[in-house]
Amino acid sequence: MILQLVPALVLLGIAGLLALPLAEYIAKCLTSQRTFLSPVLRPLERGIYRLSGVDEFKETDWKTYAGAFLLFNALGYLVLQALQMTQAWLPLNPRHLPNVSWHLAFNTAVSFVTNTNWQSYSGEATMSYLTQMLGLTVQNFLSASSGMAALLVLIRGFTRQSTTCVGNFWVDLTRTTVYLLLPFSLLLALILASLGVVQNFEPYRTVQTVEGRAQQIAFGPAASQVAIKELGTNGGGFFNANSSHPFENPTPASNFFENLAILFIPLALPIVFGLFLRRKKEGWALFTAMMILFLFGLGVMFWAELQPNPHLASAGVMGGVNLEGKEVRFGLGASVLWAASTTATSNGSVNFMHDSAMPLTGLVALFNMGIGEVIFGGIGVGLIGLLAYAILTMFVGGLMIGRTPELYGKKLEAFEMTLSLVVIVLPPIVLLILAATAVCYPAALASLANAGPHGLSEILYAYSSAMGNNGSAFAGLNANTPFFNLTLGLMILVGRLATVLPALAIGGSLARKQKVPPSTASFPTTSWVFIALLIGVVIIVGALTYFPVYALGPVLEHLSLSTGRLF
């Protein structure tokens, strides 16, 4: 069984090797340097500016930038909400699906605009082709680009000095979409379609199963949505079974490319940060911290899945290994790697049901999301979260060496520290309050498929996924109720805005400051001491925040499983 981990490590190694050339390409695109795609894409970029009236050479301060960010996402929300609630009267609805309820439309619109892509519904039974393409797929591009734009402001805060200008939101949004997401999504969609992922507008078909029953088979333009859902760390599936559906993920080859796409951009972003700083070692230090956390979680997940389930062992299953709910077409290793990748990158797609995972696997998935998706994370916002932890780390380091904390040549003061703590602490506080409310609310408890600690894990997973703008589900919770649609939508908004808006403010504050030259008293941010301290801060803060509730959920379930008790 241990050999199943080898393909996972090979895929991870390939993703790591691709990170450097991709990082150099991204850095050139976002600084308006010429790339091999410029002859094709530069005219498209200029055309967008002319049509929208944007001056690509005019920059703004962080408040104007934040206003543009909020306005753009608010308009996206309104369009998507309206599209869902009118789809019954619009074209490309071959199954004649009805309009979406107001509370589900709210949840879905908020979810896709914030790059969360949480789905309280079955895609093929709820959304028309038009809603899937014009609404959900479009937001897969734009929400990812918005996250990258927020990261660019924070990066410019560290690289610029004595200025209030932090960039132009519309330019950053356009360049990320045109040069990064669009070409790679087109390439991946072609690859996936050639491997058997469906891409058509055919009506659903009714077929007869081997049992003699009638079953309706859904089709649709899936390959194009799958491509951007993986590359943009979106995760919203065209079909309800997500990436375990044979039309979304039909072969081991498609599974390889889709999992690679999940890691493709997030692994490159810390290196992009180092390139912007013109100090590559700084980026590699962040990359190393992320990779150590990722490999540790992956190792725990794989070890947990290899442990025998007493009930299966007593039933005569070889080794007692729990394969229920796993993607047996690709093997246990592929399922575990996908679970680690999707919860560490805020992707949210799944190729097996996390509700069927061993308790400690669920614990790692919860932790990956609970710490704010800082282990690589989503497009832009994952690195924002880790930089917030880095600011906290340097505050701790500054106390240790007895001087004002500095990070990448900028002095850190109360303003930056306060906003970093908002990023780190505010979303978990809201998460725990909403989860506690759900546990005490009878209508919410009625949505659970399991009782006891497993039921608590289902609730925690839902709110953690919403908070981390992840979108994956434990698959044991009926979340399509007014209570969960509204409270999860609120959690999604807090998770997104409490990360992005403080990052914009921190970037604006740092950009106004002068750079501080390094000295012998500076805390080196490329050393193993910094990496270890950063990892320690992430783990300790996460442990202190969630240990009591995790002890009542996955930890208690793990201990109960060893006695043969199930929930």
The 10s digit of each residue's pLDDT in 479-492 is 999 999 999 999 99
Q: Please check the confidence at residue 3 and state whether its pLDDT lies above 70.
A: no
- pLDDT band per the 50, 70, 90 thresholds, residue 311: low
Interval 110-128 mean pLDDT: 90
Q: Please check the confidence at residue 24 and state whether its pLDDT lies above 90.
A: yes
CA 169 to chain centroid: 21
What φ, ψ does residue 206 adopt, rounded to 5°?
A: -105, 120
The overall average pLDDT reported for the chain is 90
Question: Which residues are CB-neighbours of 560 under 8 A, at least 6 positions away?
Answer: 452, 453, 566, 567
Q: Over pLDDT 90: what percentage of the chain?
A: 67
Output the furthest CA–CA distance in the chain (Å, rounded). Answer: 78
Scan for tokens 């006695």, then name that residue.
Answer: 563
Scan for tokens 């230090």, then name that residue.
Answer: 285
Question: What pLDDT, in 10s, does the model give residues 155-172?
Answer: 999 999 999 999 999 999
- pLDDT band per the 50, 70, 90 thresholds, residue 1: low
Question: How far is 551 from 415, CA to CA, in rounded Å?
Answer: 34
Q: Please check the confidence at residue 409 and state whether its pLDDT lies above 70.
A: yes
Considering only residues 6 and 511, tell me which one the structure prediction assigns the higher pLDDT: 511
H/E element holding 367? helix 359-370
- pLDDT band per the 50, 70, 90 thresholds, residue 312: low
Question: How far is 453 from 554, CA to CA, in rounded Å?
Answer: 6
C-beta of residue 76 within 8 angstroms of C-beta of residue 113: yes
Interval 439-449 mean pLDDT: 91
- pLDDT band per the 50, 70, 90 thresholds, residue 280: very high
* pTM as predicted: 0.93
pLDDT at residue 236, rounded to an integer = 78
Range scoring the smallest mean pLDDT among 35-44, 345-354, 531-540 = 345-354
Range scoring the smallest mean pLDDT among 21-30, 234-243, 252-261 = 234-243
Identify the CA nearest to 183 among candidates 327, 41, 303, 70.
41
Please tell me the number of Cα atoms within 13 Å of 227 on its side-chain side: 25
Interval 520-542 mean pLDDT: 89
Q: What is the DSSP string of 499-545?
A: HHHHHHHHHHHHHTSPPPPP-TTS--TTSHHHHHHHHHHHHHHHHHH
pLDDT at residue 567, rounded to an integer = 66
Please tell me the number of Cα atoms within 13 Å of 88 on its side-chain side: 7
Question: What pLDDT, in 10s, does the model give residues 47-102?
Answer: 999 999 999 999 999 999 999 999 999 999 999 999 999 999 999 898 889 999 99
Question: What pLDDT, in 10s, does the model give residues 470-481?
Answer: 988 887 888 999
pLDDT at residue 481, rounded to an integer = 94
Strand, coil or helix: what is 96? Answer: coil
Q: Which residues of 401-415 are buried (b: 16+ CB within 10 A; e: fewer)?
A: eeeebbbbbbbbeee
pLDDT at residue 219, rounded to an integer = 84
What one-character DSSP code corresponds to residue 381?
A: H
Question: How far is 525 from 523, CA to CA, in rounded Å?
Answer: 6
